């Protein structure tokens, strides 16, 4: 495994919804299946075949534009733009607020925080949210540094669990944390033990600072761009 590039940022945050390609395939399948169903039932319901063809063609064209312009994330953008989108964005903001608060607590400089698919799309990222830090100057980190990263990288998931009972994001956080420990040469048992310890510390700290966590999330949410306001 190659060491991380020290010139780039670390981007923990909610993992992109897994299976974006599968979602796109499923969407196209739904459109085709719906069109087939309308073709069969249309004459019975008095719907013109031309209207059915136009509707199916428009839907497939929309999927094509979404794939070309928005990387297949049009559904996420739409979900965040609709009236219920604020709840979705708030969960992302809580996750990123957890990262940023622990980073400040542990002295890790933050490059930027992005909340929402639109903000990430503008930044060229296929994600729902992201908190970026400067990478360590060396691939092999001391145990104390790894403990700090263990707290910061697990803080987003811990924040979600605190407010919502479970974490939906964080797959990329876990992967990055495992990579940092692996590159630093520590054995698996120690890495797992230290990560569990860090998770307990983060959960305890966030419970104590819950008001600050929610306030930070509201700040991030207010700054998040949306297609519709």
Give pLDDT tens digits for 152-168: 999 999 999 999 999 98
- pLDDT at position 83, please? 74
pLDDT score of 56? 45
Q: Which pLDDT value is given to residue 53? A: 55
- Residue pair 104/152 in contact by the 8 Å Cβ criterion: no
Distance of alpha carbon 160 from alpha carbon 103, whole angstroms: 16
Q: What is the pLDDT of residue 127?
A: 85
- β-partners of residue 129 are 115
Q: What is the pLDDT of residue 136?
A: 77
Contact of 1 with 182, CB cutoff 8 Å: yes
Q: How many CB atoms lie within 10 A of CB 80?
A: 26
As its CATH architecture, domain 83-223 has Up-down Bundle (1.20)
Burial class (CB in 10 A: 0-12, 13-18, 19+), 131: buried
- Report the DSSP beta bridge partners of residue 157: none
Contact between 173 and 156 (Cβ < 8 Å): yes
The pLDDT assigned to 170 comes to 86
d(CA 81, CA 71): 17
pLDDT digits (tens, 9 = 90+) for 111-133: 999 999 889 888 888 888 999 98
Tokens describing residue 6: 């020290």
Structure tokens at 33: 């299946």
* pLDDT number for residue 70: 45
Neighbouring residues of 136: CB distance < 8 A, sequence distance ≥ 6 = 4, 6, 145, 180
Please identify every stretch of the chain with a pLDDT value under 50, giving residue numbers as ranges: 1-8, 15-35, 37-42, 52, 56-72
pTM score, whole prediction: 0.71
């Amino acid at each position: 495994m190659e060491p991380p590039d020290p010139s780039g940022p670390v981007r923990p945050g909610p993992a992109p919804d897994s299976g974006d390609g599968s979602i796109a395939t499923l969407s196209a399948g739904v459109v085709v299946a719906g069109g087939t169903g309308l073709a069969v039932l249309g004459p019975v319901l008095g719907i013109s075949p031309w209207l059915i063809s136009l509707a199916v063609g428009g839907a497939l064209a929309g999927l094509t534009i979404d794939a070309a312009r928005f990387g297949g994330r049009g559904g996420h953008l739409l979900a965040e733009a609709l009236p219920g989108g604020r709840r979705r964005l708030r969960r992302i903001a809580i996750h990123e607020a957890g990262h940023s608060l622990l980073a400040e607590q542990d002295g890790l400089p933050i490059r930027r925080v992005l909340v929402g698919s639109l903000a990430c799309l503008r930044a060229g990222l296929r994600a729902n949210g992201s908190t970026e830090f400067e990478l360590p100057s060396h691939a092999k980190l001391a145990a104390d540094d790894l403990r700090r990263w263990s707290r910061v990288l697990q803080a987003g998931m811990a924040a979600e669990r605190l407010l919502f009972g479970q974490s939906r994001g964080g797959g990329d956080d876990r992967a990055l944390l495992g990579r940092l420990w692996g590159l630093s040469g520590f054995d698996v048992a120690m890495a797992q033990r230290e990560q569990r310890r860090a998770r307990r510390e983060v959960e305890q700290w966030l419970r104590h600072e819950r008001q600050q966590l929610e306030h930070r999330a509201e700040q991030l949410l207010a700054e998040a761009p949306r297609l519709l306001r």
